[in-house]
Structure 1
Amino acid sequence: MKRIFLLLFWSVFLTSNINAQEYFPNNESTKSKSSVFIAFTNAKIHVSPSEVIERGTLLIKDGKVIAVGTSVLVPKNAMQINLEGKYIYPSFIDMYTNFGIEVPKTSRSEGNNNPLYDTKRKGYYWNEHIKTEVNASDSFKFDQIKAEEFLKAGFGVVGTHVPDGIARGTGALVLLNNDKETNKFLSTVTTNHFAFTKSQFSNQAYPSSLMGMLALLKQMYHDAKWYKEGNSDYRDASLEALIKNEKIVQIFASEDKLNSLRVAKLGKEFGINYILKGSGNEFERIDEIKKTNAKFIIPINFPDGYDVSDPYQANQMELADLRFWNQAPTNPKSLSENGIIFALTTDKLKKLDDFRTNLLKAIKYGFDKTKALESLTTIPASLLGKSDEIGSLKKGNIGNFLITSGDIFDSKTIIYENWVQGNKFIINDMNLKDIRAEYLLTIGNDNYKLKIDGEINSLKADVKLANDKKVNSKLTLANNWLNLLLKTADTTKTEFHRLTAFVSDTNIISGKAVLANGIETLWSAKKVPVSAETKKEEEKKSEINKVFPVTYPNLPYGNVQKPNQKTILFKNVTVWTNEKEGVLTETDVLIKNGKIASVGKNLADPLALVVDGKGKHLTSGIIDEHSHIAISRGVNESGHNSSAEVTIEDVVNSDDINIYRNLAGGVTTSQLLHGSANPIGGRSAIVRWKWGLAPEEMIFQNSPKFIKFALGENVKQSNWGIQNPTRFPQSRMGVEQVFIDYFTRAQEYDRLWKEYNSQGKMGNLKKPRVDLELQTLAEIINKKRFISCHSYVQSEILGLMRVAEKFNFNVNTFTHILEGYKVADEMKKHGVGASTFSDWWAYKFEVNDAIPYNAALMHKQGLIVAINSDDAEMSRRLNQEAAKTVKYGGVSEEEAWKMVTLNPAKLLHLDDKVGSIKVGKDADVVLWSDNPLSIYAKAEKTLIEGVVYFDKDLDVLKRDEIAKERAEIITQLLQEKNQGMATQPASKKEKVHYHCDTLEE
Structure 2
Amino acid sequence: MRIPFLLLLTFLCCISLSAQEYFPKNDGVKAENNNFTALINAKIYVTPTEILDGGTLLIQNGKVVKTGKSLSLPENTVVVDLTGKTIYPSFIDIYSDFGVEKPKRTSSSGRSAQYGPSREGFYWNDHIMPENNAISKFKYDSKKAKELRDLGFGVINTHIQDGIARGTGALIALNDKGLDADRVLADKSAQYFSLTKSVAKRQAYPTSLMGALALLRQMYYDSDWYAKGKVDTKDRSLEALNANKNLVQIFEASDKDNVLRADKIGDKFNIDYTILAGGNEYENVADIKATNATLVVPINFPDPYDVSAPYLAEHISLEDMRSWNQAPLNPKVLEENNITFGLTLHGLKTASSFKKNLSKAIQYGLSKTKALEALTTVPAQILGKSNLIGSLKSGSQANFLITSGDIFDNKTVLYENWVQGKQHLVKDKALTDIRGDYNLTAGGKTYQLSIKGELHKPKAAVKEGEDKLSSKIKYEHNWMNLSFNNKEGDKVFRLTALVPPSPDQIKGKLILPNGTETTFSAVKAQAFSKKEKNETDKKPVVVPVTYPNIGYGYSQEPKQETTLFKDATVWTSEEEGILEHTDVLVKNGKIAKIGKDLRAAGATIVNATGKHLTAGIIDEHTHIAALSINESGQNSSAEVQMEDVVDPEHIGIYRNLAGGVTSAQLLHGSANPIGGQSAILKLKWGANADELIYKNSPKFIKFALGENVKQSNWNSYSRFPQTRMGVEQTFINYFQRAKEYDLKKKSGEEYRHDEELETLAEIINGERFISCHSYVQSEINMLMKVAEKFDFKINTFTHILEGYKVADKMAAHGAGASTFSDWWAYKYEVNDAIPYNAAIMQSQGITVAINSDDAEMSRRLNQEAAKTVKYGGMTELEAWKMVTINPAKLLHIDDRVGSIREGKDADLVLWSANPLSVYAKAEKTFIDGAVYFDLEKDKQQREAIKKEKALLINLMLQEKDKGSPTQEPKKKDQEQLHCDSL
User: What TM-score, normalized by structure 2, do the two folds share?
Assistant: 0.93
1:900 to 876, 883, 886: 883
Structure 1 residue 165, shift from structure 2 partner: 0.8
> How far apart are the structure 1 equivalents of 2:471 and 2:966?
26
Structure 2 SS opposite 1:298: strand
Match of 2:952 among 929, 946, 969: 969
**Equivalent residues of 1:497, 1:513 under 8 A apart:** no
The structure 1 residue matched to 2:480, chosen from 479, 482, 485, is 482
| Structure 1 pair 508–663 and aligned structure 2 pair: CA distance change class (3 A) | farther
User: Is the CA contact 1:174–1:184 (under 8 Å) kept in the aligned structure 2?
Assistant: yes
Indicate which of 654, 658, 669 corresponds to 2:652.
658
Equivalence for 1:984: 967
Counterpart position of 1:452: 452
Shift of 1:77: 1.3
Name the SS of the counterpart of 1:382 in structure 2: helix
Among 692, 698, 705, the alignment partner of 1:698 is: 692
SS at match of 1:653: coil
Higher deviation after alignment, 869-878 or 678-687 = 869-878
Distance in structure 1 (CA, Å) of the matches to 2:474 and 2:556 = 55
Cα separation, 1, equivalents of 2:835 and 2:509: 92
Distance 1:472 1:325, change over 3 A: farther
CA drift at 1:476: 2.9
Question: Helix, strand or coil for the counterpart of 1:882?
Answer: helix
Matched-pair contact (CA < 8 Å) for 1:326–1:545:
no
Query: Do residues 629 (structure 1) and 624 (structure 2) align?
Result: yes
**Aligned twin of 1:17:** none
Query: In 2, Cα distance between the equivalents of 1:601 and 1:509?
Result: 99
CA contact (8 A) 1:167 1:193 kept: yes
Deviations 1:596-629 (A, max 9, x none): 1111222222221222212221111111110111
- Which residue, out of 118, 139, 143, partners 1:141? 139
Work out whether 1:575 is the aligned partner of 2:570.
yes
Deviation at 1:517, TM superposition (A): 8.3
| Structure 1 residue 680, shift from structure 2 partner | 0.3
After TM superposition, the structure 1 = structure 2 runs for residues 416-455 of structure 1, keeping only pairs within 5 Å, are 416-435=415-434, 439=437, 450=450, 452-454=452-454
Shift of 1:636: 0.5
* Aligned residues of 1:123 and 1:237 also touching (Cα < 8 A): yes
| 1:591, distance to aligned residue in structure 2 (A) | 1.3
Taking a change above 3 Å as real, the CA distance of residues 462 and 900 of structure 1, as seen in their structure-2 partners, is: farther
Deviates more, 1:58-67 or 1:982-991: 982-991
In structure 2, C-alpha distance between the alignment counterparts of 1:898 and 1:953, rounded to whole Å: 28
**Quick one: distance in 1 between partners of 2:807 and 2:828?**
21
Distance 2:876 2:525 in 1: 90
Could you say which residue in structure 1 is the equivalent of 2:156? 158
| Distance in 2 between residues matched to 1:330 and 1:268, nearest whole Å | 28
**Alpha-carbon separation, structure 1, partners of 2:468 and 2:284:** 50
Q: State which of 827, 836, 846 in structure 2 corresponds to 1:844.
A: 827
- Aligned match for 1:824, one of 807, 827, 840: 807
Q: 1:962 to 1:912 in 2, by over 3 A?
A: same
Give the residue type in structure 1 aligned to 2:826. Answer: Y
Quote how far apart the aligned CAs of 1:227 are.
1.6
Aligned residue type for 2:327: A
Distance 1:889 1:458, change over 3 A: farther
Task: Give the CA deviation at 1:395.
Answer: 0.4
The equivalent residue for 1:10 is none
Map of 1:222 onto structure 2? 221
Distance 1:269 1:472 in 2: 69
1:671 equivalent among 662, 665, 670: 665
Post-superposition Cα deviations, 1:447-472, rounded to whole Å, max 9, x if no partner, equal 86947234x443345788999x9876
Other structure's SS at 2:188 match: strand
> Structure 1: how far apart are the matches of 2:613 and 2:441?
86
Separation in 1, partners of 2:613, 2:630: 37
CA–CA separation in structure 1 for the residues paired with 2:813 and 2:411 = 79
Tell whether 2:663 aligns with 1:680.
no
Report how many residues are paired.
Answer: 951
Q: What is the rounded CA distance, in whole Å, between the counterparts of 1:321 and 1:213 in structure 2?
A: 27
In structure 2, the gaps of 5 or more residues are 1-8, 18-31
2: CA distance, partners of 1:441 / 1:872: 74
Residue 754 of structure 1 aligns to a residue whose secondary structure is helix
Q: Aligned residues: percent identity?
A: 56
Q: What does the per-residue CA deviation read over 1:129-179, in whole Å, with 9 as the maximum and x for residues that have no partner? A: 111111111221111111111111111111111111100111111111112
Secondary structure of 1:189's match?
A: coil
Is the contact made by 1:729 and 1:738 (CA closer than 8 Å) also made in structure 2? yes
- Once the two structures are superposed, what CA deviation does each residue of 1:637-683 show, in whole Å capped at 9, x if it has no partner? 10110010110001111111111111111111110000000000000
**Contact 2:505/2:521 (<8 A) preserved:** no
Superposed counterparts of 1:246-257, under 5 Å:
246-257=245-256
- Per the alignment, in what secondary structure is the counterpart of residue 156 of structure 1? strand
Matches within 5 A, 1:547-946: 547-632=542-627, 634-722=628-716, 725-756=717-748, 760=749, 767-946=750-929
SS of 1:984's partner is coil
Distance 1:943 1:781 in 2: 37
Task: Tell me the amino acid that sits aligned with residue 561 of structure 1.
Answer: Q
For residues 799 and 314 of structure 1, the distance between their equivalents in structure 2, rounded to whole angstroms, comes to 54
Amino acid at match of 2:969: A
- Which whole-Å CA distance do the structure 1 matches of 2:490 and 2:899 have between them? 86
Distance 1:841 1:653 in 2: 30
Q: Does 1:205 align with 2:204?
A: yes
Deviation sequence 1:227-255 (CA, Å, 0-9, x none)? 22222222211111111111110000001
Conservation of the 8 A alpha-carbon contact between 2:500 and 2:506: no
SS in 1 for 2:782: helix
Question: Counterparts of 2:155 and 2:105 in 1: how far apart (Å)?
Answer: 29
Query: Offset at 1:119?
Result: 1.8
The answer for the alignment partner of 1:54 in structure 2 is: 53
Contact 1:329 / 1:362 at 8 angstroms: preserved in 2?
yes
Write the distance in 1 (CA, Å) between the matches of 2:270 and 2:912. 51
1-side partners of 2:384 and 2:147: how far apart?
Answer: 26
Cα-to-partner distance string for 1:331-352 (whole Å, 9 max, x where unaligned):
1111111100001111111221
Q: Partner letter of residue 410 of structure 2?
A: S
Q: In structure 1, what is the Cα distance between the partners aligned to 2:481 and 2:241?
A: 60
In structure 2, the residue matched to 1:23 is none
Deviation at 1:986, TM superposition (A): 1.1
Label 1:559 to 1:641 Cα distance change in 2 as closer, same or farther (>3 A).
Answer: same
1:103 is displaced (CA, Å) by 1.0
| Secondary structure in 2 matching 1:973 | helix
C-alpha distance 813-38 of structure 1, shift in aligned 2 (>3 A): same
**Contact kept in structure 2, 1:558 and 1:692, CA below 8 Å:** yes
Looking at structure 1, the residues matched to 75 and 198 of structure 2 have their Cα atoms a distance apart, in angstroms, of: 57
Q: What's the offset of the Cα at 1:527?
A: 3.9
Report deviation, 1:929.
1.4
Matches within 5 A, 1:167-246: 167-181=165-179, 182-246=181-245
Native 8 Å contact 1:34 1:422 kept in 2: no
Mark the CA change 1:420 to 1:831 in structure 2 (over 3 Å): closer, same or farther: same
The 8 Å contact of residues 506 and 527 in structure 1, kept in 2 or not, is answered as: no
Distance in 2 between residues matched to 1:945 and 1:370, nearest whole Å:
45
Specify the alignment match of 1:6 in structure 2: none
Tell me the C-alpha RMSD between the 2 structures: 2.4
Alignment of 1:20-59 (within 5 A): 35-59=34-58
For residues 466 and 607 of structure 1, the distance between their equivalents in structure 2, rounded to whole angstroms, comes to 84
